[in-house]
Structure 1
Amino acid sequence: MQCVLHRNLALNRRRWVSLLATLGCLLMLVRTGTTVEAQPSTSARFTPAEFVYEAGPADNPLKGLVPYQGPHPDRFPYSMEFNYLPLSAIVKGPGQYEWRAFEQILNDVASRGHQTVTRIFLEYPGKEGVIPTFLVEGGLKVHRYLNTNTAPFPPAAIETPDYGDPNLRKVMTDFITAWGKRYDGDPRLAYITAGMLGTWGEWHTYPKTELWASKEVQKEVLDAFDRSFRKTPVLLRYPAGKDDYLYTDSTPYRFGYHDDSFAHSTLDTGRPEDEWYFWPKMKTARLSDRWQTAPIGGEIRPEVWGCCFDEKPCTEASQSFDECRDVTHATWLMDTGMNQEQPSPDRYARAVKAVQKMGYDFEVTRAGGEAQADGSARVDVTLTNRGIAPFYHHGWAAELLLIHDGKVFKRIATDWSPREILPGESKTFQATIDAASVDQGEFELQLVIPNPMKGGRPLRFANRGSDATTGALTLGAFAK
């Protein structure tokens, strides 16, 4: 293969165009996997990169297992941490918000380079004072009883508010509006599970179903989230169509869903008594393709913590983690099992392989480019999603780096976003590089997708050689 400069270029452009031709040759050679001498006019020798598939790490950002805030740092790789707050921690009066407790969570998690999954709740077994005091003092009725649906923990006293109370309803929707105005798209915030209603904010008051919020109240909460969070993904606990007897129709909304009994009550068993399981409800609501546009998350059920990654099932009710992952297209799951104690080497190895297959996995499968008549260079790079789900977040964009003597010589911003490339599909991105300021020397062209959160983990490609610290992948090397 030869790359020949046009003979009639003006002498004062020769040096610039020589580099651009070099870059064009580099990118074409990356495509062919060949090392050749360039024409004498370029005086360059190229060593193109090889693109070899290698699954991305288990702690790639915005996917994988999610421990509670402040876990043991060395037991299992992770990129997110979970914590939640009572509504009373933020709402101090009608339209009065104190964000300090929420900021403390976000900043503490971010200090470790991680992003936060969160939820706000109004009732929690064993806790008092989670309902804002001014609402109770204003006449809100509160039901106090022993909650027996607390396994694997003992029954505990709980306070369930009257969800039909007009003042509470306005406080909830006003809070969601204020929350979204302040935090929608905040790079520290990975996912929100809708919360607000039910035990732990998990949208049920079982076994006291008579205390559950009406469909009208549920719709008010969903409408508020839909209006207020247009960037940060919001996930609901229970999928429901228009004929659901307990839940309002959630199909018109953009939300994802979270299965909080993952690998235990996820898959369809065919038994009528198991119709409440997550995937049967997704199918009944005709939401089995929702993962293509919104994330699927959840929590591994406590009964199968840790052991869901073992070769043999740990309980009779266990369901295959791998099958649950692939059927639901899960991107992230809250988990305590891999962090509560040091896992065995076999469990750890099996878990890493299983978690690597969650969510997205982007491989660079092609790179190309050519010098343009105006002295610029066009670069095109193809990303293929080898995972089981898209990348759902706004605000992430690729950069091209020219590296000289191990340092970034030039950084080229692009509008290349990895969002919504479905599994098995590819997308080719293009950019134009003005290389007029590049001097003689040794160069590499690299691709990186940095985390928009300061200090956050970068996205690493499913290619051998994607740097563990920066995520950068070398597209090729050349000497000018």
Structure 2
Amino acid sequence: MTRAVRTMLAMALALTAVTAAAPAPSWTPLAYRQAPADNPLKGFMPYAGSYQTFPHSMEWFYLPLREVMTGQNTFDWTPLERRLNTIARRGHHAAFRVYLDYPAKPTGIPQFLLDQGLATHAYPDHGNNGLSVSPDYGDPRLAAALDRFIAALGRRYDGDDRIGFIQVGLIGFWGEWHTWPYDGGTRPENWMASDAAQAAVLNRFESSFKRTRLLVRYPSALNKDLNIGYHDDSLAFETLPPTSWHFVQRLIDNGVTEKWRDQPVGGELRPEVQPCIFDAPVSCPQYEDYAESVAQTHASFLLNQTPFDGSGFTGDEWFRAVAGSRSLGYELTVTEASLPSTPVRGQAKIAVRIANRGIAPFYYDWTPELAAVDASGRVVSRWPTPWSITGIQPDAPPTELTAHLNLNGLGRGDYELTLRVPNPLPRGNDLRFANTAQDVHSGLLTLGTLTVR
């Protein structure tokens, strides 16, 4: 045997010995339990206000454009700031839509545009009786104003921690992107914005918002390729196929049934079915199956005012409504955790496997952190992780995440190693996992015991 061969054999034996000595990852299952019903950025939400009758993490409001746009290039953000701050103080994220035309409310058109002679249309429909007016969306002065407003809104509010979602409004009755029946309905007039005007608003929103998530009312050829999600304003009423104007059929017709995987879907539980959809049996004169509507839209949140009004729901109806709220959006659970099985010092390799038992991913890039808790229950060390929980899909194998922790700041002893996903909104609930080891108050999920020597 030559010296070179002996050397190679020795190296191979040494490598085998090291490999055999290296402990294999030890995975410990973590038990599942439903996540709290007020997890952030999902579930039922009311119009902005203080409510104690139903768990929630978001609040909704409409904002007339005239309140914040005071001139061609001047803005007063005070009305929006006031709404956002009030909601944030309650520990909730805001979702909102800005409008020009809301039937039965005073016009949302900025006064300077009216003073310049912007043409408008009065109408009696939708209980309006001429109070609001529909603007001429083809007027270049309005188009320029909308472009400036969207750009200014993005500069100031993109990535604002107080905001959960912004719906792309501005066009149509209620900002819902239709002027029915004045858009090819029962009236000969067509007041709806042209495709070019719609595209200009959509494209400016997409270019102005890179972090805050956007939604628009209708799936269409104009928005199918944009980073904008959808908002079904008539869920469980005009949602399911095959009717052409129903929401899911529009998703199908525009080839965007999978867009929920990276862009959010929200909406409103149709007001006519809010009081009765959770009766057993359902007592609504007209409705669509709630569970099927949620399953096919993959909605993460819904405006649903009824559970919050007055005494709200009671008894079994309350529990069914909570279950309906819980069924929306994500539900992340740590299926397994891997910690060192023997005492360590210097560094520790930690890993988790996270599955999504919900119907949609979590859409924001919140940073998980690991923490060591001593015997007194005090957090003695924290480690930000490079992990991302964004986009973990509900129909996929668990996502495995690994980190190496520097333990030099820890003394000898046993520590509970915990995982937390902090909410960047200071008073907001942290994202809580669907696990029995999850502390719903502190936000800490216990992964296991870490022994430092």
Q: TM-score, normalised by structure 1?
A: 0.84
Amino acid of the structure 2 residue aligned with 1:167 = R
What amino acid is the match of 2:409? S
Identity among equivalent positions (%) equals 39
In structure 1, runs of 5+ residues without a counterpart are 1-23, 33-49, 242-248
Aligned-residue Cα RMSD (Å) equals 2.0
Q: Does 1:463 align with 2:435?
A: yes
Q: Are 2:323 and 1:353 equivalent residues in the alignment?
A: yes
SS of equivalent residue, structure 2 residue 174? coil
| CA shift in 2, pair 1:155/1:133, >3 Å | closer
CA distance in 1, matches of 2:43, 2:382: 30
Q: Tell me: CA distance 1:114–1:373, structure 2 relative to 1, closer, same or farther (3 Å).
A: closer
Q: CA deviation at 1:328?
A: 0.9
For 1:435-454, what aligned pairs fall within 5 Å after superposition? 435-454=407-426
Q: Secondary structure at the match of 1:308?
A: coil
The residue number in structure 2 matching 1:264 is 237
User: Which of 125, 132, 142 is residue 103 of structure 2 equivalent to?
Assistant: 125
Match of 1:252 in 2: 225
Residue 473 in structure 1 maps to residue 450 in structure 2: no
Tell me, yes or no, if structure 1 residue 200 matches structure 2 residue 174: yes
Q: Please point out which of 120, 129, 141 is paired with 1:142.
A: 120
Inter-partner Cα distance in structure 2 for 1:129 and 1:325? 34
Instruction: Kindly indicate whether structure 1 or structure 2 has the higher relative contact order, using CA contacts under 8 Å at least 6 residues apart.
Output: 1
Q: How many angstroms apart in 2 are the aligned matches of 1:429 and 1:449?
A: 14
Q: What residue is the counterpart of 2:33 in the other structure? A: 54
Aligned residue among 129, 133, 136 for 1:162: 136
2:360 to 361, 385, 389: 389
Change (3 A) 1:478 1:285: closer
Which deviations, in whole Å up to 9, do the C-alpha atoms of 1:206-239 show, x marking residues without a partner? 1122111111100000010110011111101011
Q: 1:306 & 1:430 partners in 2: Cα distance?
A: 46
| Whole-angstrom CA distance in 2 between matches of 1:479 and 1:226 | 49
- Given candidates 198, 204, 208, the residue that maps to 1:224 is 204
| 1:295-310 equivalences in 2 (<5 Å) | 295-310=264-279
| Alpha-carbon separation, structure 2, partners of 1:465 and 1:310 | 33
Aligned to 2:371: 401
Query: What is the total number of aligned residue pairs between the two structures?
Result: 421
Deviations 1:267-300 (A, max 9, x none): 11x4xxx310111111111111111111111001
Aligned to 1:413: 384
| Distance (Å, rounded) in 2 between the aligned partners of 1:302 and 1:437 | 56
Quick check: 320-329 or 462-471, which moved more? 462-471
2:158 alignment partner AA: D
SS at match of 1:474: strand
2:14 is matched with which residue? Answer: none
Letter in 1 for 2:296: V
Could you tell me which residue of structure 2 aligns to residue 83 of structure 1? 61
Q: Could you tell me which residue of structure 1 aligns to residue 333 of structure 2?
A: 363
Question: Which of 182, 188, 191 pairs up with 1:211?
Answer: 191
- The equivalent residue for 2:260 is 291
Specify the code of the residue in structure 2 equivalent to 1:265: E
Rounded Cα–Cα distance in structure 2 between residues aligned with 1:338 and 1:279:
25
Gap change, CA 1:443 and 1:374, over 3 Å in 2: closer
CA distance in structure 1 between the partners assigned to 2:116 and 2:450 by the alignment: 72
> What is the TM-score normalised by the length of structure 2?
0.89
Structure 1 residue 158, shift from structure 2 partner: 2.1
Aligned AA for 1:252?
D
Flag the 1:417–1:77 CA change in 2: closer, same or farther, 3 A: same
Matched position secondary structure for 1:234: strand
1:378 aligns with 2:324: no
Deviations 1:118-173 (A, max 9, x none): 11000112222421111111121111221x235xxx76632111111111101101
Cα offsets for 1:186-224 (capped at 9, x unmatched):
111000110011111111111122111111100000010
CA distance in 2, matches of 1:429, 1:238: 36
SS in 1 for 2:277: helix
- The DSSP-based 3-state class of the residue aligned with 1:381 is strand
Shift of 1:355: 1.7
